[in-house]
Amino acid sequence: MTGESPERFFNLCAASGLDIWDVIFSKGNYIFSMGIHDFFSSKPFIKKAKIRLRIQQKLGLPFFLHKNRKRKLWAAGFLSFFVFLWVLSFFVWDIGYQGNVMYTDDELSHFLDTLGIHCGIMKNQVSCEELEAALRNEYEGITWVSARLSGTKLYIHVKENDVPLEIPVKDDSPCDLAAESDGTITSMIVRSGTPLVKPGDEVEKGQILVSGMVPITDDGGTVISGRYVHSDADIIAVRERTESREIPLWHEKEEKTGRVRKGLMMNIKEHSFVWLLPNFRNTEWKTVTEIRKIRLFGDFYLPMELGFITSCEVSSYDVKYTEKELEELGEAYKNEIAEKLMEKGVQIIENNVKILVNGSSCRFEVTMRTEESIEMETEIEAQGETQGEQPADEHN
């Protein structure tokens, strides 16, 4: 704004209720902002104040649309994008499961496919109540189901039954208890049957430890008959274990060269599109792809996945294990066996490993001294008296 009385112009605008803001005085000129309606209403004041107004910049949606009125394709594309998103919002593009341990996601998804529920189905075709009832009827281990639609995602939350569905039937058929391996008995608690060994005895594999035949004696102690029962006992013994593994002495080793290629992958339904520079040198590469489901916000998922590809060039060559590496492998093998046995309740007393190199191979031999349960059931034929129950007794 330039002219004789800019202050009078401001006073007239203020008296008439016209809004003016961001007033700046620079190089003898006033620069300010005002609304388009107020601008046209201020024209009578321009003559009274003897000033000149020149528009420097026009801001706002009406001016933007007028400026780009010839860009019809751009406007159509912009509008089509939001129409496309609006159409996608009527479909289910992702299914999530929560609380399932006994039944995997793939197993539940396969069952949903049989019901016609899958990614791409319209949301109005999904009845959450019917889906919940179908899952409860199909899987006995599921006691509670909650299905809900949020955005373009179907959430299925289940609770599984922690109590066994079937109570195992107790086996009361007559049997003996035999040694599963050689060893020395350290403790013995017999609840049913006749013990044939005692703590401190050395036993062999297959030897009967507890007989299923319980003798019946008269008042004089003479055996007059017997009855056959299901032997039951806890028999602990010290035994020797041996395990072995053989590996080639030479193995392939990979080293990264430092060359890296990065790219993108787009999955749309069953179609995949990959953008990655080709391997012009025909060398070996190790590729890792991190795939993410695309969502705009919240639970608004789209029917596509975006993958970030990282490919590293590697150089492979054969190398021989060093003595230190063999020792580390042997120690790891020994610890692996020990962990598996301890998970079963086996107590490790001694644990040693030998490393035997023979030509182009290496053999690890693990010898262990353990304390564990060694009884196993063996069937017998009931003879004499009919099968009965023996009062519980303990033998230490």
Residue 384: the pLDDT is 45
- Decide if 76 is inside a domain: no
Pairing of strands 361-373, 153-160: unpaired
Q: Are residues 367 and 238 in the same domain?
A: yes
- Decide if 72 is inside a domain: no
Residue 164: the pLDDT is 59
Would the pTM count as exceeding 0.85? no
What CATH number should be reported for the domain holding residue 154? 3.10.20.310
Residue 395: the pLDDT is 42
Q: Are residues 115 and 223 in the same domain?
A: no
Q: Are residues 117 and 232 in the same domain?
A: no
Domain holding 104, by residue range, is: 94-160
Q: Are residues 9 and 148 in the same domain?
A: no
If one counts the domains in the chain, the total is 4
- Out of 302, 317, 332, pick the residue that ends a domain: 317
Kindly provide the b/e burial profile for residues 4-41, where b requires at least 16 CB atoms within 10 angstroms of the residue's own CB.
Answer: eebeebbebbeeeebebeeeeeeeeebeeebeeeeeee
Helix axes 128-138, 105-114, angle to 10 degrees: 120
Q: How many CB atoms lie under 10 A from the CB of residue 207?
A: 14
Beginning with the edge strand found earlier in the chain, give each strand of the sheet holding 250-268 in spatial order.
271-275, 250-268, 300-320, 285-297
Q: For residue 200, give the 3-state DSSP assignment.
A: coil
8 Å CB contact between 75 and 68: yes
Pairing of strands 208-211, 175-179: antiparallel
Q: Are residues 327 and 355 in the same domain?
A: yes
Q: Are residues 223 and 331 in the same domain?
A: yes
- Decide if 167 is inside a domain: no
Residue 265: the pLDDT is 94
pLDDT along the chain (396 residues), means of 10: 83 87 84 86 84 83 74 82 92 93 92 93 94 93 92 93 68 90 94 93 94 84 82 95 94 91 90 89 90 89 92 92 94 95 94 92 95 92 45 41
Q: Are residues 280 and 241 in the same domain?
A: no
Q: Are residues 148 and 32 in the same domain?
A: no
Q: Are residues 226 and 340 in the same domain?
A: yes
Task: Output the six-digit token pair for 337.
Answer: 């066996």
174 bridge partner residues: none
Residue partners of 123: CB distance under 8 A and separation at least 6: 90, 91, 92, 149, 152
- Rounded to a whole number, what is the largest CA-CA distance in the chain? 143
Q: Are residues 156 and 103 in the same domain?
A: yes
- Out of 263, 283, 317, pick the residue that ends a domain: 317
- Out of 140, 160, 180, pick the residue that ends a domain: 160
Residue partners of 222: CB distance under 8 A and separation at least 6: none
- Decide if 60 is inside a domain: yes
Q: Are residues 245 and 393 in the same domain?
A: yes
Residue 381: the pLDDT is 54
